[in-house]
């Protein structure tokens, strides 16, 4: 019937063409939808992988920081132990040097106090051949002797002052006891019962 009517035939062809185009477009839309869904799925997978990679990277960073902190702590502990060992060795060396110095000072003091003990005192004094140098050495030796003797005098003076104070205190106590006994004999009263008389005697000995 479309062949009998050219206008209708053309319209039919146009409709069929439009339907074919519409079908093609619908198929293209469906393909695009599928492609879009696939891209979205891939994008979601990539986001998940990116999140996993970020979490893994953060975990690795934390582990790295922990390892670095442990290494730093171990290094500090090692350095501390090394320093403690070095300090201990230095303390031992200082103690040995102090003992050696004390021994030398004691030996020097004895040689100055008792020069006859020195083997050099019995030998003839050696000369360097230079009079000025010999005099300088003798001056240094005399200065050392003077310093040692001054230290000895200071120690002896301190001990003498303490002994004098102790002797004076003892004499004062003995004098007070004698006064107390004299008062007790005068009043025929035991010593234990005379604290008032003793106090008055101390205030006014006359």
Domain ranges of the chain: 131-206
Residue 45: its H or E element: helix 6-113
Q: What is the predicted pLDDT for the residue at 77?
A: 92
Q: What is the predicted pLDDT for the residue at 78?
A: 92
pTM (2 decimals)? 0.36
CA triplet 145, 146, 151: central angle to 5 degrees? Answer: 100
Q: What is the predicted pLDDT for the residue at 83?
A: 92
CA triplet 41, 44, 49: central angle to 5 degrees? Answer: 125
CA–CA separation, 111 and 101 (whole Å): 15
Q: What is the predicted pLDDT for the residue at 139?
A: 86
Q: Going along 30-139, which residue ranges are E strands?
A: none
Which DSSP category does 1 fall into? -
- Convert 70-108 to b/e letters by CB count within 10 Å (16 or more is b): eeeeeeeeeeeeeeeeeeeeeeeeeeeeeeeeeeeeeee
Tracing tokens 């185009």 back to the chain, one arrives at 21
| Whether the Cβ atoms of residue 186 and residue 143 lie closer than 8 Å to each other | no
Q: What is the predicted pLDDT for the residue at 120?
A: 52
CA triplet 29, 34, 39: central angle to 5 degrees? Answer: 120
Pull the structure tokens for residue 69: 């902190």
Q: What is the mean pLDDT of each run of 10 residues along the chain (206 residues)?
A: 57 79 86 88 89 91 92 92 92 92 81 62 61 83 81 86 88 84 69 46 43
CA–CA separation, 187 and 172 (whole Å): 23
């Amino acid at each position: 019937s479309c062949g009998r009517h050219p206008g209708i035939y053309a319209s039919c062809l146009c409709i069929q063409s439009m339907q074919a185009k519409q079908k093609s477009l619908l198929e293209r839309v469906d393909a695009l939808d599928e492609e879009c869904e696939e891209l979205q799925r891939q994008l979601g997978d990539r986001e998940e992988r990116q999140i996993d990679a970020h979490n893994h990277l953060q975990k690795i960073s934390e582990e790295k920081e922990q390892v670095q902190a442990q290494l730093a702590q171990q290094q500090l502990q090692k350095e501390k132990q090394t320093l403690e060992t070095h300090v201990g060795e230095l303390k031992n060396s200082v103690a040995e040097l102090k003992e050696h110095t004390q021994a030398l000072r004691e030996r020097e003091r004895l040689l100055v106090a008792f020069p006859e003990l020195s083997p050099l005192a019995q030998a003839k004094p050696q000369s360097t051949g230079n009079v000025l140098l010999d005099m300088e050495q003798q001056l240094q030796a005399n200065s050392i002797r003077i310093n040692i003797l001054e230290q000895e005098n200071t120690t002896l003076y301190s001990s003498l002052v303490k002994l004098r104070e102790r002797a004076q205190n003892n004499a004062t106590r003995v004098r007070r006891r004698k006064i107390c006994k004299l008062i007790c004999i005068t009043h025929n009263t035991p010593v234990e019962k005379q604290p008032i008389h003793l106090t008055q005697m101390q205030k006014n000995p006359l």
